[in-house]
Amino acid sequence: MGPMQPPDFLKTLFQSALDAVSSESCLPGHLPSAPLGRTVVIGAGKAAAAMAHTVEKYWHGPLSGLVITRYGHGVPCRHIEVIEAAHPVPDAAGLLAAKRLLSIVDGLNENDLVICLISGGGSALMPVPGRGITLNDKQSINSALLKSGANISEMNCVRKHLSAIKGGRLAIAAAPARVVTLLISDVPGDDPSTIASGPTIGDATTLADARGVIEKYDIPISKAVRTFLRDDSNETPKPSDPVFDNNTTVMLASAQMSLEAAAHAAKVAGVTPVILGNSIEGEARDIAAMHAGIARQVALHGQPARAPCVLLSGGETTVTVRGKGRGGRNSEFLLALAIELNGRANIHALACDTDGIDGTQDNAGCLISPDTLLRARALGIDAKACLANNDGYGFFTGVGDLLVTGPTRTNVNDFRAVLIV
């Protein structure tokens, strides 16, 4: 590993992961050929403005359009309008912008091309409710789902079925124009219909599935939502619908690409990378216990690799919020990992969200080292009490180990690296 200190080495791996999945790295080679008619660019997500900027840079010919991104994630564009709105709980700005997306693609013909730029976060940024449902309904259901422990596929199943734009409905609005969807995936398994709730992708889930998620997590819903979810005429278009026949979907970037880039950077530095998985899901503290067990196996037995070794993983853990802390699944993962490792020598770790925001906080994630708990005790901070209160953010603020990047303008979900030296 050379003279680089473990925290700096881990930050270097994270930067390598981000660089590999930036729109500038992954988008230019996948632009479609120009159509006979108009080219309209639409999109939504934390990476949408950066993607639009890249499209403008490499597209030859006229284009226009509109993309929606999270507040603070905008990038200036010349021909494509960029609107910022709220995430993860939608707001009125997102509602107005998403209605404009629908109107922009209305009236196109078969000679026109729609380039749809989709990345994680797009679901909350396009909150057009179905008939009879209010924005307030969507906001309260979204908030409850975020705290419930539901995984991203379950959340997006509900979101699709309460929407007038998601679950393939945007493609129906754009027909008969050809739709090319360029995706940056933030979901475990990289299912195109789950990323941002698949606005241009046929939906295999059903109204019954959505009702099942609501019941499983005991999500409170209004009478209007209950009525809507029981009306078969509100079903989403399915993948077999002919409206999708002429459309194309391209996966530009995923968690696997980010992990492979970090693995390459580790190898160059003389550290053996072990990719544990790109779609690891589960409670953050349970995933932390699993990572701690593997790290101990490396330290004690040289398995599955000898130190120096770095364990890499991606995916999206969940935090079932029981306390009053400020959460963040990466800070919860690292706090639980520090407690599990209990100051074991020579093990350092980083966990960050690749969009630069851990949960709803201002940090991408955090770092731990063998002396993390010791430093916390010296400051009078009780690690176990913080974990019980879901207050990883408060813990890492206290010990000074938050990692703040600002918006990265990409999003392939969580990045975890556990270094054993």
Which of 99-113, 137-151, 325-339: highest mean pLDDT? 99-113
pLDDT at 3 over 80: no
* Average pLDDT of span 355-377: 94
230-243 tens-digit pLDDT:
999 999 999 999 99
Examine the domain organization and report whether 115 and 219 are in the same domain.
yes
pLDDT at 167 over 70: yes
Q: What percent of the chain has pLDDT over 70?
A: 99
Of 196, 218, 253, the residue that ends a domain is: 253
Distance CA 332, CA 414 (A): 12
- Helix H or strand E segment including 279: strand 272-283
pLDDT at 1: 60
* Number of compact structural domains in the chain: 2
Average pLDDT of the residues of the chain: 96
CB 411 within 8 A of CB 45: yes
106-115 tens-digit pLDDT:
999 999 999 9
pTM score above 0.95: no
Q: Which residue range is the domain that position 10 belongs to?
A: 6-17+256-420
Of 253, 286, 315, the residue that ends a domain is: 253
258-304 tens-digit pLDDT:
999 999 999 999 999 999 999 999 999 999 999 999 999 999 999 99
Q: What is the CATH number of the domain that holds 146?
A: 3.40.50.10180
* Average pLDDT of span 356-374: 94
pLDDT at 331 over 80: yes
pLDDT at 91 over 80: yes
Rg (CA), the chain: 22
Q: How, if at all, do strands 402-403 and 365-368 pair?
A: antiparallel
Examine the domain organization and report whether 40 and 179 are in the same domain.
yes
Instruction: Return the minimum-mean-pLDDT range out of 32-36, 87-91, 217-221, 295-299.
Output: 87-91
pLDDT at 327 over 80: no
Q: What percent of the chain has pLDDT over 90?
A: 91
pLDDT at 2: 62
pLDDT at 326 over 90: no
179 or 360, which is more confident? 179
Examine the domain organization and report whether 208 and 153 are in the same domain.
yes
pLDDT at 254: 97
Examine the domain organization and report whether 291 and 385 are in the same domain.
yes
Q: What is the CATH number of the domain that holds 279?
A: 3.40.1480.10
pLDDT at 360: 78
Examine the domain organization and report whether 60 and 194 are in the same domain.
yes
In this prediction, residue 421 has a pLDDT band, given cuts at 50, 70 and 90, of very high
User: Does residue 288 lie within any of the structural domains?
Assistant: yes
User: Does residue 1 lie within any of the structural domains?
Assistant: no
CA 110 to centroid of chain Cα atoms: 33
Could you count the other beta carbons within 10 Å of the beta carbon of residue 107? Answer: 10
Of 253, 283, 298, the residue that ends a domain is: 253
Taking Cα atoms as reference points, which of 137, 91, 252 lies closest to residue 183? 252
Examine the domain organization and report whether 248 and 261 are in the same domain.
no
* Average pLDDT of span 175-195: 95
In this prediction, residue 318 has a pLDDT band, given cuts at 50, 70 and 90, of confident
User: Which residues lie closer than 8 Å to 213 by C-beta, 6 or more apart?
Assistant: 150, 154, 155, 157, 158, 219
pLDDT at 151: 87
Distance CA 148, CA 143 (A): 9
Total count of residues recorded for the chain: 421
Taking Cα atoms as reference points, which of 27, 408, 61, 77 lies closest to residue 180? 27
Taking Cα atoms as reference points, which of 329, 286, 315 lies closest to residue 147? 329
pLDDT at 305: 98
